[in-house]
Structure 1
């Protein structure tokens, strides 16, 4: 039921000084000219989670260009632009009670701003004011009947936008037509370039001129260009793409296969790997990594001591344990460095990863390599771990899984690498021939080496088993513990509360913010509805992805009026969270 602005204002003025619980009566729909305000949820007390409020403007009133807001991908980019511009508008209004949510450097699908055929909607959180537990009704009236409609008009009425040029990140002083256009077109170009990777046989491209270093280890903002070395591709790997927009992008193409990145400490090896990790997402202008584009399934793999593992087939890497444990269906509540890294790897492949990103600094040494002296001292039949160096090429030839590996302390992977790139003070050089010469291997050796064998010795590695494991099928109650009475929720960016348990996300490097962790939590709730004791984990992830593609994040939240602030996760991160749930149960 609609009511006029004066009705809501009058109600709030009359509630001034009364017990906070009385605010529940303002729930409903209110019209303010072209702006409709929906008060969906009112916080129970001043110290509870903020109230949930939406503002909406019909498309006919908004008058946005159809060519920028019709295609699904364009709507994601336009909504991202509006989210950033909306925060600028709130800053100009000096209104801190209204929370729109702040995005990071990535352009991602979120629930904060919705663009559909009917119009434009912002979902906000509102801290309604109080003194103690008494309503400050006059201030609440100012927020909801003055500032909120004003915010919506400034953001969603295209005719009111200024013509100020767009600045870094898409806008500087509120929205502009030029800023929106540039933001959407950049997003289009990035998606087109990503689609080109597969056609060109590449798993990544790092654009010339990219600024890869960040301001600090705990910041995702780019280092000042005056302090950073801009990236320049080695001539041997340089790749140029002409985009349909007329833009030309040139940079270092990373071909499918095994690529090893080497160099001295602090010369940029891990920096380029971190950029490739984030390259699975589009980035805003000015980030420095706009043209770092990766295979969208690329997954970071590391050791993770202490994580839970449920029913993974890690036998391709670990077998014949002295304890007699069956590594074809391996479970533990406290994985070691090697078993955790093996689990992370096979789970990534199960979730659809076709590129692995690995840094030796965060890897278990005994999982990665075993040198000749250790092989001589400990016979292969007495060592349960088959190191990754012996499996990396079968992963490529049998599964089509490429690897990008950072190595600073061992040359072991030179023997199995298609490409070796050396970084010297952030400047890359192609050194494959030198690396192969050092270990006595040629490119022809890599092509003709027997499956599962070391191309250098041709004999020391055991025969590679198939990497295709039997499908893991969660039980019907896999995500329905009896003790769980509340929905899953993110606790920061690195933890999800699931019933009485907590799922640790700290090692999942490609989760970029708290809103994405919240998206994972919603996906877990959706998976709970899918699991029936017959549907495999892979099939269930496919169903989640299909729903997200067809209906957006609202599809997995049951189309709640205001789902909160969520960011879409990849299926890889949803799977990673599920796999770390300690109470996960599978059919045998």
Structure 2
């Protein structure tokens, strides 16, 4: 393995030469206690940066990384610490001279940018703009980047009390989440949690927020190996969250929508957990729907258009929300989250006056309020709804939670005292048959995520704005790579979508998210998505074909 002396000799030789001479750097280099791996060299200083890896002894207490939960938290800690100490040192023009690594949000989950290896070593995967002046190599500046900047950044990754705190927080969250089923719960919000965020674009906790306190009727204590935690437990069934505008209803729902993820200490939501298969659904005018059986909510439409299955390149609010609900069931959701503000009113409810004016045989829509109890009893789902103006749902709720000045109150007894009847079920609710995706139409081309709302997949653009549980552009890009893997190795025209998602999960569990790397080296920008977000993207692919 070439060492520092060989590296110095190489950099002297290519100094001042045209930029492609940097390709001589490809390979693995021994730099004292570090190993530097150069996987890819950019062809031009103004092109996307080069791909590098550094391996080193991490010095982490083995007890902190003795299980999968601890290892994941420690990898996340290394990534955050490296990003915090890694400064871009401008040692050239264009994109050259800069070092960068994926910058995570407050969530702890599997990412490819930082990995623990065997033998007490770790690997960080990052980008480097190899220094240039114009389009000529700056060898001296390259020496400083590779032998000073990177080793100095690694040297500052000494484990400290913040690592132990993060591992403890992650293990506690996993333990709380595992307790939910045992207690018949779908979610848990610990007393003292801070749910509001600083702003719509700032995920830090709101400094002036009111800490959460559980209503006495919903307070539970969960015993874990890391101590007992007390807070609000939401039981299986139908939970309706009510309250005046701007009093915190949607804030609670947003926290539950992130409850399947672990959070770093200090986030405020690090003891807010939900079942792993919690999915938020909403209406989405104009989306594509491919072969989804929505007949439980919409009968045959005018013009003889079938809803079993339903196809549309321009779905309405009601048909898109019905499709999203059935698609979530298909991908394995156990809990559905819905906010009245982003739902189709005509799918949610049909009041007595409208029923009197428009007879049932003239209305193809069966509103959710008439089906929601069946979702629980027949399909085994639980549903959490934020409701501001539709009182009909009080008659079908198991729990009514009222938010008043961001304080939670149990109003179940008061709601039942109103005597609002539950609407009669409109008939049986058969479970729709899952779709079978076909390979035709799933062929990948170039995959690029403009942001977390738009994914370029070959010639198609997948709109992901309504897939609200996607985290960032890196996770959206990883979803695109998962679609590619489905096409290449899983979808065969016989396997239905749930089975295909099972196969995808099994492969990622066995080989890690690096399996989705589009190159022969492990990409550093992969963020593992859930099966639900992969399925949501697939369902929105306008070239998708199913049977």
Give me the TM-score of the superposition, normalised by structure 2. Answer: 0.95
Aligned CA distance change for structure 1 residues 440 and 337 (closer, same or farther; 3 Å): closer
Superposed counterparts of 1:180-199, under 5 Å: 180-199=163-182
Matched with 1:171 is none
For 1:517, the equivalent position in structure 2 comes to: 476
CA drift at 1:581: 0.4
How far apart are 1:8 and its partner, in Å? 1.7
Is the partner of 2:456 in helix, strand or coil? strand
**Contact in 2 for aligned 1:190/1:282 (Cα 8 Å):** yes
Change beyond 3 A, Cα 1:45–1:91 = closer
What's the CA shift for 1:204? 0.4
Question: Distance in 1 between the 2:495 and 2:209 partners?
Answer: 49
- Contiguous gaps of at least 5 residues in structure 2: 92-96
SS at match of 1:241: strand
Question: Which residue matches 1:421?
Answer: 401
Q: Secondary structure at the match of 2:308?
A: helix
Contact 2:283-2:344 at 8 Å conserved across structures = yes
Deviation at 1:510, TM superposition (A): 0.6
**C-alpha distance 557-93 of structure 1, shift in aligned 2 (>3 A):** closer
Corresponding residue for residue 541 of structure 1: 501
Q: Secondary structure at the match of 1:143?
A: helix
- The answer to whether the Cα contact below 8 Å between 2:116 and 2:123 also exists between their aligned partners in 1 is yes
Supply the distance in 2 between the matched residues of 1:563 and 1:262 (Cα, whole angstroms).
45
* Alpha carbons 1:277, 1:357 under 8 Å: kept: yes
How many residue pairs were aligned?
Answer: 540
Cα separation, 2, equivalents of 1:347 and 1:580: 11
- 2:116 aligned partner: 115
| Distance (whole Å) between structure 2 residues aligned to residue 536 and residue 55 of structure 1 | 41
Aligned-partner SS, 2:451: coil
Equivalent residue, structure 1, for 2:131: 129
The answer to whether residue 497 in structure 2 is matched with residue 501 in structure 1 is: no
Shift of 1:485: 4.0
Give RMSD over aligned pairs: 1.7
**2:151 aligned with 1:149, yes or no?**
yes
Shift of residue 147, structure 1, vs aligned partner: 1.6
For the 8 Å contact 1:515–1:566, the answer to whether it is kept is yes
Equivalent residues of 1:261, 1:423 under 8 A apart: yes
3-state DSSP of counterpart to 2:197: coil
Aligned to 2:512: 552
Cα distance change on mapping 1:485 and 1:93 into 2, 3 Å: closer
Cα distance in structure 2, aligned partners of 1:151 and 1:45: 25
Aligned to 1:567, which of 517, 520, 527?
527
Distance 2:507 2:544 in 1: 23
Deviation, 1:519, is 1.7
CA contact (8 A) 1:414 1:439 kept: no
Task: Note if contact 2:517-2:526 (Cα within 8 Å) is conserved in structure 1.
Answer: no
Matched, 1:86 2:82: yes
Of 213, 221, 234, which aligns to 2:215? 234
Q: Report how far residue 24 of structure 1 moved.
A: 1.4
Distance in 2 separating the partners of 1:515 and 1:93: 24
Correspondence for 2:161 = 178
Show the counterpart of 1:35: 34
Q: Give the aligned partner of residue 451 of structure 1.
A: none
CA distance in 2, matches of 1:130, 1:558: 27
CA distance in 2, matches of 1:190, 1:62: 24
Greater than 6 Å deviation, 4+ residue runs = 92-96
1:462 paired residue number: 426
How much does 1:91 deviate? 4.3
Q: Is the 8 A contact 2:239 2:385 kept in 1?
A: yes
Contact 1:52 1:562 (C-alpha < 8 Å) held by counterparts: no
- Cα deviations by residue, 1:515-555 (Å, 9 ceiling, x for unpaired): 21122111111111211111111111111111122221023
- Structure with greater proportional strand content: 2
Secondary structure of 1:249's aligned partner: strand
Residue equivalent to 1:5: 4
The answer to whether the Cα contact below 8 Å between 2:88 and 2:100 also exists between their aligned partners in 1 is no
Query: What's the counterpart of residue 341 of structure 2?
Result: 361
> Which TM-score applies when normalising by structure 1?
0.89
Report the Cα distance in structure 1 between the residues aligned to 2:275 and 2:291, rounded to whole angstroms.
28
Helix, strand or coil for the counterpart of 2:194? coil
